[in-house]
Chain A
Amino acid sequence: MDERTRMWAMVGVSAVVLLGIALMIVLVEGLNAWTGVMLLTIVALALVALALAVRTMREMRSGLPLKDERSIALAMRAGNRAFYVSMYLFLFMAIGFTALEDEGVVLSNSELLFVIVALMGSIHIVLSTYYNRKGRVAPE
C-alpha cells in the first residue's frame, strides 16, 4: 500500500469512527450540555485531522517523505511521554472525581472513557508538537 492510499484509508477510518462515536453519544445520551461538549470536541478533532491531511497532501505533492528516522523517533518519544503524563494525570483525576462525588457530581462510564481518550490524544498532540519544534530527539 503506497503512502497516499494509506493516508486516505486513515482519514476514512477516522471519519467513520468519529461519526460512529458522535451518533452513539446522541443516541445513548440524547442532546444536553455535556453531550454538546463531547460533540464539539469531536468536531474539533475532525478539523485538526482535516488540517493535518491537507498539509500531508501538500507535502506528498512536493515529493518529500511523510515519515523519516527523526519523525519516527519523535512519535515514539511523544507516545512514551504521553503515556506517563496521562498516568499521573489520571491519578489526580481519580482523586478529583472522588472529591467531586461528595459534591454530587458523578460522571458515567462512557463520559469518563471519553475524557480519558480525549486527554490522552490531546497530550500526545501537544507533546508531538513540542518535540517537533524542539528538534533534539537523541539522548542529552
Chain B
Amino acid sequence: MRTRIKELRARYNMTQEDLAKLVGVRRETILFIEKGEYNPSLNLAHAIAKALKTSIDELFLFDD
C-alpha cells in the first residue's frame, strides 16, 4: 500500500506533527503510515483524509 499523505501535507504546508495533532494521534503513527509500514484503522484513515481535504481512496493507493 502506498499513500499520498506526504504529497498532500506538502500541498497544505503541514508538518507530520500538525497532521498528528489534527487527527489526534502520535507523530510516529503518521510517519509509519506515510512509509506504508502501518495500516491505520478505517476511522483514522477517514480522519486523515478529511484533514487533507480528500477521500480515503484518493489517499491510499493499492497495487492490485
Interface residues of A (CB under 8 A from B): 59, 62-71, 132, 134-138
A-B contact pairs, 20 of them (CB 8 A): A59-B26, A62-B17, A64-B20, A64-B21, A65-B25, A67-B26, A68-B24, A68-B25, A68-B26, A69-B25, A69-B40, A69-B44, A70-B25, A70-B38, A71-B26, A71-B29, A134-B37, A135-B28, A135-B37, A136-B32
Q: Which residues of B contact A66 (CB under 8 A)?
A: 26
Tell me whether B55 is interfacial, beta carbon within 8 Å: no
B37 and A136 contact, CB distance less than 8 A: yes
Secondary structure at chain A's binding surface: helix, strand, loop or mixed? loop
Size of the chain B interface, CB-CB below 8 angstroms:
18
A68 and B38 contact, CB distance less than 8 A: no
Q: Which residues of B contact A70 (CB under 8 A)?
A: 25-26, 28-29, 32, 38, 40
Q: How far is the CB of A33 from chain B (nearest CB, A)?
A: 41
Set B31, B35, B41: member contacting A69, Cβ < 8 A: B41
Tell me whether B54 is interfacial, beta carbon within 8 Å: no
Known A70-B29, A70-B32: A63·B21 in contact at CB below 8 Å: yes
